């Protein structure tokens, strides 16, 4: 069976076999093909997803139809429209496959249930939420204080694999510049 989740959780809290069974019983395995949607902007958000393999984009389409990428979610990432997921409201962004992708998904109810019966998992989720917050803040800082050129270099330095896996057009949407501008930057 898939042990990616166990390995991932045990980087932060250790688990007995029974505890891990308890955890997996709250998740469902699901496979998607390239371009499939896990979440569609405007529709309800039922799940949070743990990426086992593949690649997703969390993306917002503005009124003019331009796409803005909030994040790329790869192996071992947790992703959803968190705002919508926790408040049970409609998605303001979409979550879509850039490659064939396998995930484990959990509902909000099961998430709460799991937290209630397995306190140590709350510590794990706290750690994840904290690093997510820190990561968003770093990205914010880089948007506020760095030029497109610098942001591009920072991104490739941090996630060199992205350069192979996604188009320049998508990288541009992530960096907050037009594809033409990105194309004119020197590597």
Q: Round to whole Å and give the CA distance between 104 and 179.
A: 33
Q: SS3 for 119?
A: helix
| Site membership for its own copies, residue 88 (CB under 8 A) | no
Residues 50-89 as x/- pattern, contact with DNA by CB under 7 A: ----------------x-----------------------
Among 24, 41, 46, 82, binds its own copies (CB under 8 A): 82
CA distance 109 to 23: 13
By the rule CB under 8 A, 137 interacts with its own copies: yes
| CA separation for the pair 142, 175 (Å, rounded) | 10
Sign, Cα dihedral of 124, 126, 128, 134: negative
Q: What is the x/- site pattern for its own copies, positions 89-128, by CB under 8 A? A: ----x---------------------x---x--xx-xx--
Q: At its nearest, how many Å lie between DNA and the CB of residue 170?
A: 7
| 90 vs 168: CA distance, rounded Å | 30
Helix axes 119-145, 148-158, angle to 10 degrees: 150
- Binding residues for its own copies, rule: CB under 8 A, are 60, 62, 66, 68, 70, 82-83, 86, 93, 115, 119, 122-123, 125-126, 129-130, 132-134, 136-141, 143-145, 176
């Amino acid at each position: 069976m898939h042990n990616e989740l166990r390995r991932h959780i045990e980087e932060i809290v250790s688990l007995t076999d029974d505890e891990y069974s308890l955890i997996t019983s709250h998740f469902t395995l699901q496979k998607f093909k390239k371009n499939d949607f896990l979440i569609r902007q405007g529709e309800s958000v039922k799940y949070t997803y743990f990426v086992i393999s593949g690649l997703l984009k969390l993306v917002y389409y503005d009124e003019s139809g331009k796409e803005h990428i909030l994040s790329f979610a790869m192996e071992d990432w947790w992703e959803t429209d968190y705002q919508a997921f926790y408040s049970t409201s409609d998605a303001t962004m979409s979550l879509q496959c850039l490659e064939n992708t396998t995930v484990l998904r959990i509902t909000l109810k099961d998430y709460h249930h799991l937290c209630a019966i397995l306190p140590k998992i709350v510590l794990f989720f706290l750690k994840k939420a904290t690093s997510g917050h820190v990561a968003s803040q770093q990205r914010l800082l880089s948007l506020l204080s760095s030029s497109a050129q610098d942001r591009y270099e920072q991104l490739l330095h941090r996630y060199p694999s992205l350069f192979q896996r996604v188009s320049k057009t998508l990288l541009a949407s992530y960096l907050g510049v037009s594809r033409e501008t990105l194309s004119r930057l020197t590597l």
